[in-house]
């Protein structure tokens, strides 16, 4: 198996400490309430911390960003709404000015459009302001995020539930991340974006 095929296989595994992650119990056709959004975030945090060894060169900056956001999330009251969780993540991401900085605006938009539970329409509305990667590839974060945003828009047009929309976004982000492969390795920032959407598929 060549390096690109190995990378593709690794991207398509939802793991925590080497073990497959099972979906959070609940109605997977429903919109995401605060509990499920929090599970999405904490799963992503754990994924980054457990697999930081795969984040060559920028592991420190990415972990710093995730921990800053997590500290903001931890300060939320019990039973926090999706908007409160996303707003807390946005504050932490923007504070560190790291390589995930372009995502802070998406989290801010998510917080703004979520008046209650978060569904496909809210995910797509927030993604509408995501930039494009550009013909030259652009920032690695956008190489994964831009196709994910397009997938969310398509999912909204198709009227599919939130977890299905996040699955489409994850696949698009993973494809975008594969496009950053250099010498057998995916850009770690693009990989982190793919992990974020990956965790949304199991809430």
Structural domains in the chain, sorted by start: 31-200 (1.25.40.340)
Q: How far apart are CA 63 and CA 154, in angstroms?
A: 31
Q: For the chain, 203 residues long, give each residue's pLDDT as a single digit of tens.
A: 444 444 444 454 555 556 666 655 555 668 999 999 999 999 999 999 999 999 988 999 999 999 999 999 999 999 999 999 999 999 999 988 888 887 888 899 999 999 899 999 999 999 887 765 444 556 888 899 999 999 999 999 999 999 999 999 999 999 999 999 988 889 999 999 999 999 999 88
Cross-strand partners of 15 = 20
Give the predicted TM-score (pTM) of the model.
0.85
Q: 198 — phi, psi (to 5°)?
A: -55, -45
């Amino acid at each position: 198996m060549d390096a690109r095929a190995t990378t593709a296989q690794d991207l398509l595994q939802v793991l925590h400490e080497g073990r497959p992650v099972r979906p959070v119990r609940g109605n997977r056709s429903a919109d995401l309430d605060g509990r499920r959004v929090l599970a999405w975030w904490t799963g992503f945090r754990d994924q980054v911390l457990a697999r930081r060894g795969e984040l060559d060169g920028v592991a420190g900056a990415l972990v710093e960003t995730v921990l800053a956001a997590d500290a903001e999330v931890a300060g939320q009251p019990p039973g926090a709404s999706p908007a409160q969780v996303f707003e807390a993540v946005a504050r932490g991401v923007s504070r560190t000015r790291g390589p995930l900085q372009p995502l802070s605006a998406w989290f801010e938009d998510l917080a703004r459009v979520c008046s209650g539970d978060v569904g496909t329409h809210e995910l797509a509305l927030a993604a509408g302001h995501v930039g494009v990667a550009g013909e030259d590839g652009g920032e690695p974060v956008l190489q994964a995020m831009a196709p994910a945003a397009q997938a969310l828009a398509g999912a909204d047009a198709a009227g599919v539930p939130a977890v299905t929309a996040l699955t489409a976004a994850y696949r698009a982000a993973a494809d975008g991340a594969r496009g950053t492969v250099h010498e057998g390795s995916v850009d770690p920032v693009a990989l982190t974006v793919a992990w974020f959407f990956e965790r949304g598929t199991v809430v």
